[in-house]
Amino acid sequence: MTGTSDLTPWLILIALGAFHGLNPAMGWLFAVALGLYRKSRRVVLVSLVPIALGHAAAIAVVVFAAVVFVMAGVLRLAVLARRDEIEIMLLVGANPGFVRGPFLVAGLAQGVVAAGLALGAVELARRAALGWAGSPLVPLELFAGRGLPPGYVLLVLATGVVVSVAAAFFAVRRSL
């Protein structure tokens, strides 16, 4: 029986995790339970941060997939719209890499513009949060006190470029 009692907390934790997987909206229950256990409103607010980050990561995966498919579709349409020009270039002797170049550059430009727009939206949201942070109930000084570090800005730009160029490459590769 002692072996069972040692496993009971782990089994409960696994069951709660499975329930959270079935119903992601109930993650706040963990935060409330922890806050009630420690008798602190601050603990509830701080424990909501990892839950929000987990949900943001899940949304980012879906958005990432959508961006790849949309970019690939747009560039595939561009290839199809210039099908005659591409045929002529290939007949004249251009290698497929030379023909792919302009489409890859278009994908690169789209990625840079999209990443710039995303960074602009984050900055606007940060400034709006700073304006709203005067409320004593909102501890946003931890997150909105300063802009994104340059490393994160470069990471967002690099991610946008890599995703868009990869989508462009795969879209053009199938067509040429």
The DSSP annotation for 18-44 comes to HHHHH-GGGHHHHHHHHHHHHT-HHHH
CA 86 to CA 175: how far, in whole Å? Answer: 10
- Region 134-162 average pLDDT: 71
Worst-scoring range by mean pLDDT, 12-16, 27-31, 55-59, 149-153? 12-16
Query: In the prediction, which pLDDT does 112 show?
Result: 92
Worst-scoring range by mean pLDDT, 16-25, 32-41, 94-103, 149-158? 16-25
- Region 11-27 average pLDDT: 61
User: Rounded to two decimals, what is the model's pTM?
Assistant: 0.58
Of residues 116 and 59, the one with the higher pLDDT is 116
Contacts of 115-118 with C-beta under 8 Å, sequence gap 24+, read 115/156, 115/157, 115/159, 115/160, 115/161, 116/157, 118/156, 118/160
